[in-house]
Structure 1
Amino acid sequence: MMRSLIVSITIFCAILWTGDALCCQQCKAVGEDCSGKTVECENENDVCAQAIEYDRVGGEVRSAAFRGCWNLTVVCNHLVTVNTTGYELDIYYDCCETDGCNSGPMEVPPRNTTENGLYCKSCFVEGSYDCPGYVPIACTGDQGDCLEFHGDATFPGGVEKKYGFAGCTITGACYVGFSDLVGTTVGAFSNLTCPEGNKIYFDN
């Protein structure tokens, strides 16, 4: 079944093809998967991508899926993670470079939960921009930065609320900013930083 789908996409791309750009399946939805039409990418440097975002907020897991043309290749095939005292985020972009290659099953690699020695100031509050206080949280895997967010956000399938949170994230997350979010959206007021002052060092 999957092979037939890929063959059909390849044939359809041959009909659409007007240059060197790829053809990719395009869709976006709340949930763990989506399907849609095949489109030709606008930019020759685009790759095809399929991505999943998982948000764990107060014990509830929300997810969003994406397939389409993608040019932010710095996040390709790397698990983006955030850990705070009340919120966790996982985003994974599986990128490929042939027509219709983003139509397969969506899978997210497991988190590396081994503590790496870094601690960050952490907090989470819903309904306010300001955290009432901070506690240390242990970073894991390749989390090398301490992130802090204050602003309006809407998690997949939810409504916009005020949030303030801080914790661990992968190195370079603040450079990418909000560009790799799959289903979460941020409002007009939002501030994301990775302050060095949020890193905590304990004496051995």
Structure 2
Amino acid sequence: MNAFLTGVIFLVAFTATGKSIDCVSCSSTNGTDCSGEVTTCAEDQTFCQTARTELKKDGVASNQVYKYCGGDEEPHWIYREESLTTFFQLEVENCETDKCNEKPAQLTPRVNTPNGVKCMNCFKDYSADCNSEETIECTGDMNKCLFVSGNFCNNGTAFYACALRHCTNIASADLHPRYDEVDTGNIQKIEISEGIKDA
């Protein structure tokens, strides 16, 4: 499951539209910030972008940061998901002046307050589905339930099928960072549901 969660960072980069600017280009797969060379972006790239992830599994955090030229129309977006043992956040920021992504990468703090929504909590290797009597109480802006299945788990040598269900903050499947992989077949299904609200 770690490979799935950390792998989504690669999907946010390298699409673009507009005039050229100078941006910092760097990456760190084990840190909260990076510094690197200044790159003159292609003419159709109008923004400098910073993408940062945080994965907390069983209380242990790991981080990735990518800074690059881009052209995403959305100026700022955050994706979050949480199970009983794992929390993942991806945040992308755009800016429009030379070297504006040089500043330290930030993550918007999450809100840990329960929001009254509960979701099924399960994860299953080598399966297209998972079900459980176990539930998770969602917090903050994570007020929807997520189901994902496909070849996104990795055993160190190859990807294989697995499935998960837990809380997320996105309102529809097309907002998931790996939604484009539904077309390629790597992801079989992404579903967003309302979940179980407390009476």
Shift of 1:144: 3.0
Given that residues 87 and 124 in structure 1 are in contact (C-alpha distance below 8 angstroms), is that contact kept between their aligned partners in structure 2?
no
Q: Does 1:36 align with 2:36?
A: yes
Structure of greater Rg: 1
Given that residues 48 and 68 in structure 2 are in contact (C-alpha distance below 8 angstroms), is that contact kept between their aligned partners in structure 1?
yes
Q: Does 1:83 align with 2:50?
A: no
Shift of 1:191: 3.1
Shift of 1:60: 4.5
Q: Does 1:200 align with 2:196?
A: yes
Query: Equivalent residue of 1:34, what SS?
Result: coil
Deviation sequence 1:11-58 (CA, Å, 0-9, x none): xxxxxxxx8322211223311233333223335463212221122345
Rounded to whole Å, the distance in 1 between the matches of 2:57 and 2:151 is: 15
Given that residues 120 and 131 in structure 2 are in contact (C-alpha distance below 8 angstroms), is that contact kept between their aligned partners in structure 1?
no
Shift of 1:121: 1.9
State the match for 2:165 in structure 1: 166
Shift of 1:73: 4.2
State the match for 1:148 in structure 2: 147
State the match for 2:101 in structure 1: 102
Given that residues 47 and 95 in structure 1 are in contact (C-alpha distance below 8 angstroms), is that contact kept between their aligned partners in structure 2?
yes
State the match for 1:53 in structure 2: 53
Rounded to whole Å, the distance in 2 between the matches of 1:53 and 1:112 is: 17
Rounded to whole Å, the distance in 2 between the matches of 1:85 and 1:26 is: 35
**How many positions carry a matched residue from both structures?**
176
Rounded to whole Å, the distance in 1 between the matches of 2:23 and 2:153 is: 27
State the match for 1:67 in structure 2: 67
Q: Does 1:137 align with 2:133?
A: no
Report the residue type matching 1:175 in the other structure: D
Report the residue type matching 2:105 in the other structure: M
Report the residue type matching 1:72 in the other structure: D
Change (3 A) 1:40 1:159: farther
TM-score of the superposed pair, with normalisation by structure 2:
0.71
Shift of 1:113: 0.9
Q: CA RMSD in A?
A: 3.1
Shift of 1:134: 4.6
Change (3 A) 1:71 1:126: farther
Given that residues 19 and 46 in structure 2 are in contact (C-alpha distance below 8 angstroms), is that contact kept between their aligned partners in structure 1?
no
TM-score of the superposed pair, with normalisation by structure 1:
0.70
Deviates more, 1:158-167 or 1:32-41: 158-167
Identical counterparts, % of pairs: 24
Given that residues 136 and 200 in structure 1 are in contact (C-alpha distance below 8 angstroms), is that contact kept between their aligned partners in structure 2?
no
